Amino acid sequence: MLRVDVSKQLGDFKLEAAFESEGRVTGLFGSSGAGKTSLINMIAGLLRPDRGNIVIDDEVLDDTASRVHVPAHRRRIGYVFQDIRLFPHLDVRENLDYGRRMNGLTEDSLRRKRVTELLDIGALLDRRPGKLSGGERQRVALGRALLAQPRLLLLDEPLGSLDEERKEEILPYLVRLRDEAGIPMVYVSHDAAELRQLATQIVMLKRGQVTVFGGVKVLTGTP
Amino acid sequence: MFEISPTEWTAILLSLRVASIATLVATPLGIAVAWLLARRDFWGKSAVDALIHLPLVLPPVVTGYLLLLTFGRRGLVGEWLADHLGIVFAFRWTGAALACGVMSFPLLVRPIRLSIEAVDRKLEQAASTLGAAPWHVFMSVTLPLALPGVLAGMVLGFAKAIGEFGATITFVSNIPGETQTISSAIYALISTPDGDPAALRLVIVSIVIAMSALIASEWFARRATQRLHGN
């Protein structure tokens, strides 16, 4: 369960969002500039809310009233960025292994095998990110986030930097991820079609405010 | 003419030792300062920045004299260090290393600072979402990506340390075998009758050392850049 009730002033823009989701994939929908990325940056712990609280499964991650702010590296929340952000100085294998090392988790070849198979990245392990295509990079980024064993996965327009063809390449992996990985996700997108395929619940964001919250059918009529 | 005498060898080896120690000790400190200046905002930041650059603009003799006042046997810090830790700088090769370290510090810090500023903070954020604590983020992401700058700073600092003269001779004098580096040996030789051939030999040696350092830094930088760009 993810419960968010935050507000944050960002220049002239005020983000004020509250929702609670039990869904496997919570779709965060809105046009660009609606505050989607700021909102998940707060969930990730990269941005501190001015007021409010963020709770996952009864663990308070942010609560401005009692001055609780769990730093990003202790949240165990995976993040797949729109601009991918693989470590350029590490090869794919080391990128995938990074979260495990940093969290002091024991090596788990079975898990690694499952994730590399799920995402079809087994053949890329010895390459550097500079030698990967856009779609391959995004798959590796997904694998890297998954292998840190997060309790929640944030995906910020993971298809946003890809062309139509690459989107078609990645989407099936995301569906598999949703159905097989068993990790709840918050999926940010401005593309209603994408969310209809993936999300189980929708939070609609407009100019920093939650306007609609409900099942995927709330997307009816949106482009 | 091309035979290097034992005294000259002593000066050459001493210079190499002084410059290497100065660079090796100054580098971790330089990285820390560079990181602070690149990534943190704090009260007095511009004062710290100015202080570091001071040796670059002050007359070296002034820096040397200040070092003597501070780290000399009766200096504020020097006396305490000698009494409590047994570390003496005055008229020792360690003092030459200290003078070289201080004089080359601004040249060491600058490329490191620039390269840390150039590291994409988004990568650091990504590392923290993967569970890396700030220190680990620095060691596993920031520092490796800033490595070309670190190496460039080290080479530049080393080259400056090898050539340092004014502050060193003011602080620790010109004692053969203890504080007489290549520069101060050349200075002594050219004011001695018949010293010219020996001075010339040392001039050639310092040119060779400086050139090798520059070539090495180019080579390191190229390798590091290749590594970073995923090839």
Q: What is the pLDDT of residue A160?
A: 82
Count of domains forming chain A: 1
A88, A127, A148 ranked by CB distance to B131: nearest:
A148
The pTM (predicted TM-score) of the whole model is 0.89
Report CB contact under 8 Å: A87, B123: yes
Q: Does B136 touch chain A (CB under 8 A)?
A: yes
What mean pLDDT comes out for the span B59-84?
92
- Rounded-to-integer distance, Cα B227 and Cα B231, Å: 6
For residue B170, CA distances in Å to A100, B19, B107 come to 54, 17, 21
Q: What is the pLDDT of residue A49?
A: 96
Q: Is the pLDDT of residue B109 over 90?
A: yes
Report CB contact under 8 Å: A81, B122: yes
The pLDDT tens digits for A180-219 are 888 999 999 988 988 998 999 999 999 999 988 888 888 8
Range of the domain at A26: 2-219
The pLDDT tens digits for A141-153 are 999 999 999 999 9
Q: Does B134 touch chain A (CB under 8 A)?
A: yes
pLDDT confidence bin for B131, thresholds 50/70/90: very high
Distance to chain B for A4, nearest Cα, Å: 18
Note which residues in 14-73 of chain B have CB less than 8 A from chain A. Answer: none
Q: Which residues of A touch B223 (CB under 8 A)?
A: none
Could you count the other beta carbons within 10 Å of the beta carbon of residue A18?
15
What residues of chain A have any CB closer than 8 angstroms to a CB in chain B? Answer: 44-46, 71-79, 81, 83, 85, 87-89, 98-99, 102-103, 127-131, 144-145, 148
Q: Is the pLDDT of residue B1 over 80?
A: no
- Rounded-to-integer distance, Cα A137 and Cα B193, Å: 70
CATH number at residue A51: 3.40.50.300
Cβ-based burial of A195 (10 A; exposed 0-12, middle 13-18, buried ≥19): buried
Q: Does B126 touch chain A (CB under 8 A)?
A: yes
Superfamily of domain B6-228: MetI-like (1.10.3720.10)
Which two structure tokens, joined as six digits, stand for A5?
């009730």
Where along chain B do its domains lie? 6-228
Report CB contact under 8 Å: A102, B134: no
Q: Degrees (nearest 5) of the Cα angle A66, A70, A75?
A: 140
What mean pLDDT comes out for the span B86-94?
90
What mean pLDDT comes out for the span B70-87?
89
Q: Does B135 touch chain A (CB under 8 A)?
A: no
Helix (H) or strand (E) holding A39: helix A36-44
